[in-house]
Amino acid sequence: MTKGPIVYLTRKEVISACHRLHSPHLTDSENVEIYGKCNNFWGHGHNYTVEVTVKGPMNLETGMVMNIAELKTYVKNVLMDQLDHKNLDKDVPYFENVVSTTENVAIFIFQELRKLIPNPDLLYEVKIYETDKNIVIYRGE
């Protein structure tokens, strides 16, 4: 493979999920104080926009960093199969003892993608738009 310039490739998906911000390490009153309305006992939902970016040298023979069809499959496996239309706290074992903040959702997605991508070093960034105004970025740091 002849390596070319470094290129960033991003796949974007929208998922719907609900959660409740509640830490088992805090009292009920501390949870209410810290998380406010997001600590509602019944939870609340979001339409998260998630962008997954890989970064690496372009293969000059194929003109690609990674086949976009493969990236689409990895993203589907994590986002659509594991998180979409789920209650994060009840349906995703990772969040049994981890508060389902958007920060932790980004970390979860990043870790799960690293397990799937044949060259995990290509995974550069997970960016989540929780709302139009709240955005979280995680790069594995």
Active site residues: 38, 85, 130
Instruction: Indicate the Cα dihedral angle 131, 110, 108, 38, nearest 10°.
Output: -10
66 and 54 Cβ atoms separated by less than 8 Å: yes
The tokens for 140 are 């594995």
Instruction: Please tell me whether residue 41 adopts helix, strand or coil conformation.
Output: coil
Q: How far apart are CA 69 and CA 47, in angstroms?
A: 24
DSSP secondary structure of 75-140: HIIIIIIIITTEEHHHH-GGGGSS---HHHHHHHHHHHHHHHSSSGGGEEEEEEESSSS-EEEE--
